Structure 1
Amino acid sequence: MTVHDRLVAPVRPGRPRPTVRLLRHLLPYWRRLLLAVLASAGSELAATALMATAAWLITRAAQQPPLTAVSVAIVAVRALALGRGALRYGDRLLGHDGVLRAVAGFRTRVYEALMPLAPAGIPAFRSGDLLTRLVDDVDAAQDLLLRVLIPASAACAVAVGATGATAALLPEAGGLLGLLLVVAGLLVPALVLSVSRRTGLAEKEARAAFTSLALDLTRGAADLAAYGARGRT
């Protein structure tokens, strides 16, 4: 088997999938990522509670009750508004800090894995294509954490909290809300995954070809200018 075949070979049946191997590499950073998930979930829970409390306060205030009847709700609205902002800031700070540290370690492992393949494995790919794969794969690992795992974990926590609170007030409504959240959380991602699988490979190949062409033109710009062939590109 050539170096090119080893690089593009599919995942063997007994070998973990790339996402599973990636998550294993990120285990040393789980404490930082857990803090980011907790801050994100707290921020979303505060926002949800703020909307519910504010709606109740507006409705109750329209009845012109004594101030003491709504004083607790007024304090709660202020506390939730301040807490949401603080937790949102903590979510962004902890999330980006944890993810950037994790991806920095991942980049090191990627380069260490590529070093034994050079220089024999480099000619197997066009340089622009190889550069695109390296940069896009590392960025995809960052997006997997920052835009998928952390928000999804926070959304699950909010869904459980909202369903539990609704069920405590009205069991039928809580059950219906839980069912709708499960359908939205599973059906919509499944449809998106089905569509992206059809277009993702073609898009990746087109982007790789475009990057390779752009890099080749940049490297050969001096030669093209020397031979007066700029207009032909």
Structure 2
Amino acid sequence: MFRRDPLLRLTLDLLRPRLSRLVAASVLGVLSLGSALALAGVSAWLIARAWQMPPILDLTVAVVAVRALGISRGVLGYCQRLAAHDTALRAAANARTGLYRKLAEGPEDVAMRLSSGELVTRVGSSVDELADVVVRSVLPIVVATVLSCAAVGVIALISPGAAAILALCLLIAGAAAPAITARAVAAAESVAVQHRSDRDSATMLALEHAPELRVSGRLDGVIATVERHHREWGHAADRAASPAALAAAMPSIAIGASVLGAVVAGIALAPTTAPTTLAILMLLPLSAFEATTALPDAAVGLTKARIAARRLLEITEGGQLRDRPAAPAVELPAGGQLAVVGPSGSGKTTLLMSLADRLNTTPGRAAFFAEDAHIFETTIRDNLLVVRGDATDTELLSAIRRVGLADWLAGLPEGLGTVLEGGHTAVSAGQRRRLLLARVLISDFPVVLLDEPTENLDAADGERILVEILTPGEWFAADRTVVVATHHLPDTLDCPVLGCPQPTGAVGG
């Protein structure tokens, strides 16, 4: 049952918090706020006893205890923060390492089907929210539970009725109010997560392709989209304010009710109970609620962490892929050409990756060339040699001329030895696409799988290159198999076509 909870599953799987560190942080937190609780009780006794004007030596121990508890509260609180944050930071490091390992060891399309902005959001903010659950939720809940039980137990020794009222008020402040807050935040957060993802995706688009967007006149529109998603995120958060405001008022009401109950119980016990005991009965409930003040935020942290855990499970276990139809079987005869045509999100990229997995049961048989393959911060020569290390400069220059980069290369100071500072940021989107096509030309794999090879190229040049790729004997030898995923084909091209249906909420190209 508990293994079905995404938060618990990832807490055990990715965070792997050390029990000893959690226990140490919890003990320090209990001792810190326990000092505050004891300080309230001793102070109440000291005030009432001093009113009776006893010999000063009768108050010495209480005076020293008040000072010691006041100092220990601060020292222990600081130590608790150190232990808690050490635990959280180690857990975050474990989570990122585990997540990267799962992405590296899992199917390629689990990560590649997501846009860069979406992947940054999930690996960045989702991991942060998951790691924060240790400090913001687990420890406050443990500390509040222990201290609430201790406070109710002490009051019960004086007045069972007042203890019952205190227990009920603590449940309202520590359970009901956080639950309402969590439900309100969950409703807004589920919407905010999507807006944040859309905002980050649009932001990454503007950052990575600003020059091309400015030339095409679309940059202002993309920036406006970022601002719109951010505003919608704010509106979604505002919609949670009404129930959250009610939850914020509940602890104050509970404190007032508990104090009123203590006063009523004290009046009833006054004839038979010492004044110092009555003072403890009156003041101790006020400190008992100090531990519950962090519980609404703890509940919010649990809710956000559970949403983050669910999003991380989608990429660590391929949750979204299970909802997609299986890729159709494709027969690839030697020397054949096939075009996979369909709109964005119809599964073209997933199909090519599935083909690559199936074909590479024989190592080195097929190569998948992704639409957004990486450009390394090294020389142009090394960027091309990643597909075939024994290629000569003559072959590299021939490939560069074929893809239309000869003039660009001639204008560089060191030719093939020019270092691309910043990787893909050193070239335009069109130049990047042509460099990736040059890699394809240099490769010698029997089966070549190309994902959107003419993206970011002008229409005329893109159509020419697409025709040459899918024409036997042009770019590739007649005995090599070529599969191309694209949005459309030129009308003049005679090539077998596999159509992908219109997407219905699918993810990936």
| Counterpart check, 1:24 vs 2:12 | yes
Which residue of structure 2 lines up, in the alignment, with residue 49 of structure 1?
Answer: 38
| Mapping for residues 8-19 of structure 1, pairs under 5 Å | 16-19=4-7
Aligned to 1:34: 23
1:85 to 65, 74, 91: 74
SS for the counterpart of 1:187 is helix
Q: Which moved more, 1:184-193 or 1:206-215?
A: 184-193
SS at match of 1:121: helix
**Structure richer in helix, relative to its length:** 1
Please state if 1:135 is matched with 2:124. yes
- In 1, distance between residues paired with 2:111 and 2:43? 60
Contact between 1:166 and 1:174, CA under 8 Å: does it hold in 2? yes
Which residue pairs with 1:165 in the alignment?
154
Residue of structure 2 in register with 1:3 after alignment: none
Aligned equivalents of 1:231 and 1:178: distance in 2? 58
Q: Deviations over 1:45-104 (max 9, x none)?
A: 101111232233234334433212221210110110121122111101111112211221
- Decide which moves more: 43-52 or 21-30: 21-30
Inter-CA distance 226–141: structure 2 relative to 1 (3 Å threshold): same
Q: Are 1:185 and 2:174 an aligned pair?
A: yes
1:186-231 residue CA offsets vs partner (Å, 9 max, x unmatched):
2122212322232121111111111111111111223345567655
1: distance between equivalents of 2:105 and 2:48?
Answer: 68
Deviations 1:14-72 (A, max 9, x none): 96221121232355601101100000011011011112322332343344332122212
Q: How many angstroms apart in 2 are the aligned matches of 1:231 and 1:24?
A: 45
Is the deviation greater in 64-73 or in 207-216?
64-73
- Aligned amino acid, residue 39 of structure 2: L
Matches within 5 A, 1:108-123: 108-117=97-106, 119-123=108-112
- SS, match of residue 150 in structure 1: helix
Aligned-partner Cα distance in 1 for 2:112–2:205: 14
Q: Cα RMSD between the aligned structures?
A: 2.3
Q: Higher relative CO (CA 8 A, sep ≥ 6), structure 1 or 2? A: 1
Q: Could you tell me which amino acid in structure 1 is paired with residue 9 of structure 2? A: R
> Does structure 2 conserve the Cα–Cα contact (< 8 Å) formed by 1:33 and 1:99?
no
- State which structure, 1 or 2, has the greater radius of gyration over its C-alpha atoms: 2
Report if aligned partners of 2:2, 2:8 keep a CA contact under 8 Å in 1. Answer: no
1:103 paired residue number = 92
Note if contact 1:54-1:77 (Cα within 8 Å) is conserved in structure 2.
Answer: yes
Greater per-residue strand proportion:
2
What is the alpha-carbon distance in structure 2 between the residues aligned to residue 80 and residue 19 of structure 1? 37
- Secondary structure of the structure 1 residue equivalent to 2:4: coil
Cα distance between partner residues in 1 of 2:46 and 2:137:
34
Going from structure 1 to structure 2, the CA distance change for 1:14 and 1:35 (only over 3 Å counts) comes to closer
Map of 1:199 onto structure 2? 188
**Residue type of the alignment partner of 1:20:** L
Is 1:153 aligned to residue 164 of structure 2? Answer: no
SS at match of 1:64: coil
Q: Note if contact 2:87-2:134 (Cα within 8 Å) is conserved in structure 1.
A: no
Distance in 1 between residues matched to 2:149 and 2:34, nearest whole Å: 10
When residues 104 and 180 of structure 1 are mapped into structure 2, their CA distance, relative to the original with a 3 A threshold, is same
- The answer to whether the 8 Å contact 1:46/1:83 transfers is yes
Gaps of 5+ in 2: 224-509
How far apart, in 2, do the equivalents of 1:29 and 1:221 lie? Answer: 45
Other-structure match for 2:209: 220
SS at match of 1:213: helix
Q: 1:9 — aligned with what?
A: none
2:3 and 2:9 in contact (8 A); partners too: no
Query: Equivalent pairs: percent with the same residue?
Result: 33
Rounded Cα–Cα distance in structure 2 between residues aligned with 1:143 and 1:105? 13
For 1:28 and 1:208, locate their aligned partners in 2 and report how far apart those are by CA, in whole Å. 28
Residue 49 of structure 2 aligns to which amino acid in structure 1?
R
Matches of 2:61 and 2:3 in 1, distance apart? 57
Stretches of 4+ moved more than 6 A in 1?
A: none
Measure the CA separation in 2 of the matches of 1:210 and 1:141: 21
**How many residues of Structure 1 are paired with residues of Structure 2 in the alignment?**
221
- Structure 1 127/70 Cα, relative in aligned 2: closer, same or farther at 3 Å? same
Structure 1 residues 50 and 120 mapped into 2: Cα distance closer, same or farther (>3 Å)?
same
* TM-score normalised by structure 1 residue count: 0.85
How has the CA–CA distance of structure 1 residues 14 and 30 changed in structure 2, closer, same or farther, with 3 Å as cutoff? closer
SS of 2:162's equivalent in the other structure is helix
Q: TM-score, normalised by structure 2?
A: 0.41
Q: 1:131 to 1:64 in 2, by over 3 A?
A: same
Which residue identity lines up with residue 102 of structure 1 in the other structure?
A
